[in-house]
Amino acid sequence: MSTTDWQEVIGVIGFFTLVTTVITVTIWQLAATWRAKAVLARENEYRAIADKAVLFQEGAERQLAELGGRLAEVQTRLQSVERILKDVE
């Protein structure tokens, strides 16, 4: 083999190495983009679940406040009934 042949072989090997590197980096970046999109979608789903949980907690707080008010009303009525029963005795 002559010097020109070796230069051509080295050139072809270099070209294939370059093409392989470019393809590998491209695939790597595409995979990283897909992973980032998947993470973002998962975070959005978690955020939606958290928002629903907050809404349910607020509803539960409202119901507890309402029940607390009703309980206070029942307590005052019970005290008045007890007072009336004591007066009757």
Euclidean distance between CA atoms 48 and 56, whole angstroms? 12
Number of Cβ within a 10 Å radius of residue 31: 10
Q: Give pLDDT tens digits for 1-16.
A: 677 788 888 999 999 9
Q: Give pLDDT tens digits for 56-66.
A: 999 999 999 99
pTM: 0.57
Q: Give pLDDT tens digits for 12-44.
A: 999 999 999 999 999 999 999 999 999 999 999
Supply 63's token pair.
């119901």
Helix residue ranges per DSSP H, the chain: 3-88
